[in-house]
Amino acid sequence: MNALREVIAVVVFIVAVVSLSNLVLNGFDGRLLIATVICFIAAYIIWPSKRKGARQGDNSLLDIIEFIIELPIDLFLWLFRSITRIFRSNDSHLDIDL
């Protein structure tokens, strides 16, 4: 079952990368941007992550693929958390925690 999830996640991730390159090369399209973001999120959710305990074996190729698939979401979350730290203070009522 994990092999099927891995293949589907890789295919969805490749679709997201192709869509992103199409978005950059051919101009901005809002629907394509939304589809690209949804594909990245779907690949992240579908992938059986070692951190989530869904994959037990030690396979360096799968570890590399996992790093590549999880990188866009991890970068977005890091950026979002960094921005919220700027706006978070003891005086402000704005406090966003993830």
Rounded-to-integer distance, Cα 83 and Cα 66, Å: 26
Mean pLDDT on 5-28: 95
Rounded-to-integer distance, Cα 83 and Cα 33, Å: 22
The residue ranking higher by pLDDT, 4 or 54, is 4
Structure confidence at residue 90 (pLDDT): 56
The pTM of this model reads 0.79
Tokens 């979350």, residue located: 77
Helices (H), 1-98: 2-26, 30-46, 60-87
Q: Which amino acid is at 83?
A: I
- pLDDT band of 89, cuts 50, 70, 90: low
Residue 64: φ, ψ to 5°: -65, -45
Structure tokens, 69 = 């698939």
